[in-house]
Amino acid sequence: MVYIRDNIKGGALTETTFLVLLAVYTPNHGYGIMQFIENETNGRVVLGAGTLYGAINTLVKKKWIAPSGNEFDSKKKEYVITGLGKQKAEEELKRIVEVWKLASTIIKGDRIT
């Protein structure tokens, strides 16, 4: 039996999780994260507020992202990726590249070195 869960026994991150991590490599607030994801996926992924803030809360609890700066200086709470979050994003990128290489070899018959 295969379980696809965020980072359990080498499982894939959800697309939402990975995209949120990418969106906060520089400090970003909730609406900015939503815009980043929609723009960078050419409208393929559009997150609702509930989905986004649920993901943000989960990532803060996992210590993959953290509030950035002084929350009292701005009306918009910004988040930034942590060292642990960067590690998880890098692991996911490696996993995606490995899957891409396999798929390319099988589908296109290409040999990737």
Residue 1: predicted pLDDT: 37
Flag whether 99 is in a domain. Answer: no
Structure confidence by residue, pLDDT tens digits, 16-56: 999 999 999 999 999 999 999 999 999 999 999 999 999 99
In a domain, 67, yes or no: yes
Does residue 57 lie within any of the structural domains?
Answer: yes
Domain assignment of residue 75, given as a range: 15-84
Residue 23 located in a structural domain: yes
Q: How many domains does one find in the chain?
A: 1
Domain assignment of residue 109, yes or no: no
Compute φ and ψ for 68, nearest 5 degrees. -110, 130
The neighbouring-strand residues paired with 80 are 66
pLDDT digits (tens, 9 = 90+) for 90-111: 999 999 999 999 998 999 886 6
Q: What is the CATH number of the domain that holds 34?
A: 1.10.10.10
Q: What pLDDT score was predicted for residue 12?
A: 85
What pTM value is reported for the model?
0.82
